Structure 1
Amino acid sequence: MPRSIRTVAPALLALMLAGPAQAAEPAWTYRPEAMRPFWEGEVMEGESVLFVKDGGQDTATASVLMPIRKILAVRNAAGDVTYEEGRDYAWAPGSREITLPAGSRIVASRPEDLRRPPGSQPYRLTHRDGGDEIMFGGKLEYHALQTIVTYEHDADAWDGPRPPFDPAALPRSVAKLEKGEPLSIVVLGDSISTGCNASGWADGAPFQPAYHDLLRLHLRERFGSDVRLANLSVGGMDTAWALTMIDKVVEAEPDIVIVAFGMNDSAGRPAAEYRDNIARVMSGVREGRPDAEFILVATMIGNPDWVALRQELFPAYRDALAGLRAPGVALADLTSIWSRFLALKRDRELTGNGVNHPNDFGHRVYAQTIAAALSPPR
């Protein structure tokens, strides 16, 4: 193992090892609009923002991904408070910015609220500017600060990547779904894939499931198939650990394997080694399960302000996975989507824990992007 991983990774891996909360009685129900790809249509469903008063100003602002044509709803992240235009927020048609007037009931933070003194948290989350640490959110801390916006926009407003559907990429799995036949999925990944910081995982309203369960529900509802999903993911793990799980994957008899690593590897594993590990996982699974197909997930980008993450490795890993595409192997490119997100918004608006997990909106984007490899646009 390279020295950079041995010296940097322990804190990174420890951060991933927190187990999920006890499952609560779910209040969340499947709605097709929640799984409509955000890049399609003219409505953005439940985009997360976090209002901040920058530069000592009393006015808080936040930006959405696309120019607003009409705001349909603004709610707290739990979904149980709906805010009023004029009283709680203001916006201008064609703008991406939403502003909170004086007296707004919407939660607003200051930049210093999202930082902590060095050594005051369980994990070292040193900010890249060398000052205080990034605030860590173990469960619902960022969720409580975020606001959810549903709005109309022009049909061509999204100028970022649009995940394609290629029926030739995963022919066996796509055929099973189209025929309504049972489909067996195995997920092998890190803490993102265990479901960390989805509100359901954290036992908080609106109790939205993590991306893997969203995917299962979506495929079952759309195709009527009996979709079975075995999640073998473990927090803190990387592609080296994935090699030890090949027999477990085969035992689950998957039709399709979702392989989702990169966040923990990004402490320093070279892209060539990352690629080789993923290739060996696929080769090993196919020795015991010759017809298995794969969706390789290029991970979301971790907080650019956290020094433990080598940002240049995220696109390098994505490119390495792209080179493994072949019949029976598809790429779900969250890296490129997140790169565009971070050009338009701040990490604090997309994160579940402050550094390397998605929030509810991010888990939906994960599920939508992976589903795009299996289901054609409507």
Structure 2
Amino acid sequence: MKHIATILLVVLMTVPATARQGEAMKIVTFGTSLTARGGWQEPLRRSLSACRDGEVTIVNLAKSGMASDWGLTQVDKILAERPDVVLVEFAVNDAALNRFVSLSESGANMEAIVTRLKAGESRPAVYVMAMSPVSGLRGMTRPFLADYEELHAEIARRVDFGFIDHRPAWAALSTDEIATAIADGVHPDPETAGRVMLPGLMRALAGSDCQAARTE
């Protein structure tokens, strides 16, 4: 398993958020329990609304326990929301040994998901994300998680989508802080998730017009 340090700290492709400063923006978040119960959506909504001086709506269509094979069946539902931006993550469940989603299948699913999303009528900006660390028994059942995350990053680069890597922000916390924040080994508490993930999300979504994004 490749070391997390082999990935760029934050990879942000040239995928601008499509709503302009002062205009309303609609974001759909999509993925596993790390998104379904993530808690980072509301801090992101507040910060983006203030920064952009426009209404930001976030619709959370993630579902706990799901992997990318399920995600592939949900693309039409996401596109029906006519989002400006879609944030998607499935690596943590695709990598679970009991899910039986092979690395190649995960890659094919993710490429199909992001390609179909980008072809939607609203032409949303799509960002694939790498999330928080796993540990304990839940970490043991995901021994190749980094390989899945790296593959998803490579797909984002190859098909010219965005990739937001939250792992360096989590790695900046101490071992004790991570153990407290992710007590069950996989699900961060919402308050910490919002604090840790918000700067990277703002850098990706706020654009160069937002002073807050430049000074996080």
Report how far residue 363 of structure 1 moved: 3.0
Paired residues for 1:1-378 under 5 Å? 163=10, 169-173=14-18, 176-177=19-20, 179-195=21-37, 210-268=39-97, 269-289=101-121, 291-306=123-138, 308-313=140-145, 315-326=146-157, 329-338=161-170, 340-341=171-172, 344-346=174-176, 347-351=178-182, 353-359=183-189, 360-375=191-206, 376-378=213-215
CA distance in 1, matches of 2:185, 2:147: 20
Q: 1:186 to 1:307 in 2, by over 3 A?
A: closer
User: How far apart in 2 are the matches of 1:337 and 1:362?
Assistant: 10
Give me the identity figure in percent: 23
**Aligned counterparts of 2:165 and 2:136: Cα–Cα separation in 1:** 18
- C-alpha separation in 2, matches of 1:235 and 1:241: 11
Give how far 1:335 is off: 3.2
Q: Could you give the per-residue CA deviations for residues 152-176 of structure 1, whole angstroms, max 9, x where no partner exists?
A: xxxxxxxxx7536x5x622353xx3
Aligned pairs, number: 197
Query: Unpaired runs of 5+ in structure 1?
Result: 1-160, 197-209
CA distance in 1, matches of 2:34, 2:199: 15
Matched AA of 2:76:
D
Three-state SS of the structure 1 residue aligned to 2:155 is: coil
CA 1:307–1:367 in 2, change beyond 3 Å: closer, same or farther?
A: closer
Deviations 1:198-224 (A, max 9, x none): xxxxxxxxxxxx101111111001111
Distance 1:214 1:292 in 2: 21
Match of 1:148 in 2: none
Report how far residue 266 of structure 1 moved.
2.1
Instruction: Tell me which residue corresponds to 2:3.
Output: none
Deviation at 1:300, TM superposition (A): 1.3
Structure with the higher fraction of residues in helix conformation: 2
Matching residue's letter, 1:355:
G
Name the CA shift for 1:371/1:309 in 2 (closer, same or farther; >3 Å). Answer: farther
What letter corresponds to residue 14 of structure 2 in structure 1? A
AA partner of residue 16 (structure 2): P
Alignment deviations for residues 78-119 of structure 1 (CA, whole Å, 9 cap, x no partner)? xxxxxxxxxxxxxxxxxxxxxxxxxxxxxxxxxxxxxxxxxx
Calculate the TM-score normalised by the size of structure 2. 0.79
Q: Does the Cα contact within 8 Å between 2:117 and 2:126 map onto a contact in 1?
A: no
Structure number with the higher strand fraction is 1
1:302 and 1:309 in contact (8 A); partners too: no
Quickly say closer, same or farther: Cα 1:223–1:304, change in 2 above 3 A.
same
Deviation by residue 1:225-279 (Cα, 9 ceiling, x = unmatched): 2111111111111111101101101100011110022222221333322221111
Alignment check: 8 A CA contact 2:91 2:152 kept:
no
| Counterpart residue type for residue 182 of structure 1 | A
Indicate conservation of the 8 Å contact 1:261/1:299, yes or no.
no
The structure-2 alpha-carbon separation of the partners of 1:277 and 1:335, relative to structure 1 and needing over 3 Å to count, comes to: farther
How far does residue 290 in structure 1 lie from its aligned partner after superposition? 6.1
3-state SS of paired residue (1:259): strand
C-alpha separation in 2, matches of 1:322 and 1:275: 10
Look at both structures and tell me which one has the larger radius of gyration over its CA atoms: 1
CA contact (8 A) 1:250 1:285 kept: yes
Name the CA distance, whole Å, in 1 between partners of 2:139 and 2:42.
Answer: 32
